[in-house]
Amino acid sequence: MVTGSTRRIDTPAMGTTLSMYGPPEAFDEGWEAVVATFRREERRCSRFRPDSELSRLNRRAGSWTRLSDGLGSLLRYSLDRAASTEGAFDPTVLRAVESAGYDRDLDEVIRAARGVLGPPVPCGRWAEIELGDGEVRLPPGVGLDLGGVAKGWSVDLAVDAAISAGIPWVLVAAGGDLRVSEHAPLLPIDVDDPEVAGGSILTLLVDRGALATSSTAKRSWGTGLHHVIDPRTGAPAITDAIQVTVWGPTCADAEVAATVALLRGTRSVHDAPSVVVGVDGTVRHSIRGDRGPRLEAA
**pLDDT (0 to 100) of residue 110:** 44
**pLDDT (0 to 100) of residue 259:** 95
Q: How confident is the model at residue 121 (pLDDT cuts 50, 70, 90)?
A: confident
Rounded (10°) CA dihedral 275, 278, 281, 282: -60
Q: How confident is the model at residue 7 (pLDDT cuts 50, 70, 90)?
A: very high
Q: What is the mean pLDDT of the chain?
A: 90
Beta strands in 164-295 (DSSP E): 171-174, 177-180, 187-192, 200-206, 209-215, 220-222, 225-226, 229-230, 235-236, 241-248, 274-278, 283-285, 294-295
CA distance linking residue 187 with residue 111, whole number of Å: 37
Q: Give the pLDDT mean for 4-15.
A: 90
Q: Who has greater pLDDT, 101 or 287?
A: 287
Rounded (10°) CA dihedral 189, 206, 173, 236: -80
Q: Give the pLDDT mean for 33-45.
A: 97
Q: Give the pLDDT mean for 51-77.
A: 98
Q: Give the pLDDT mean for 221-231.
A: 69
Percentage of residues of the chain with pLDDT beyond 70: 88
Phi, psi of 74 (to 5 degrees): -65, -40
Q: Give the pLDDT mean for 96-123.
A: 63
Q: How confident is the model at residue 105 (pLDDT cuts 50, 70, 90)?
A: low
Which candidate, 126, 33, 128, places its Cα nearest to that of 77?
126
- Is 152:141 a contact under the CB 8 Å cutoff? no
Q: How confident is the model at residue 291 (pLDDT cuts 50, 70, 90)?
A: low
**pLDDT (0 to 100) of residue 3:** 46
- Is 165:36 a contact under the CB 8 Å cutoff? no
Q: Who has greater pLDDT, 282 or 291?
A: 282
Q: Give the pLDDT mean for 207-234.
A: 80
What is the model's pTM? 0.91
- Is 2:187 a contact under the CB 8 Å cutoff? yes
pLDDT tens digits, one per residue of 153-183: 999 999 999 999 999 999 999 988 999 999 9
- Is 142:92 a contact under the CB 8 Å cutoff? yes
Q: Who has greater pLDDT, 2 or 58?
A: 58
CB atoms under 10 Å from CB of 278, counted, come to 16
pLDDT surpassing 90 at residue 17: yes
**pLDDT (0 to 100) of residue 235:** 86
Rounded (10°) CA dihedral 109, 254, 154, 8: 90
SS3 223: coil
pLDDT surpassing 50 at residue 125: yes
Instruction: Specify the DSSP class assigned to residue 186.
Output: P
pLDDT surpassing 80 at residue 112: no
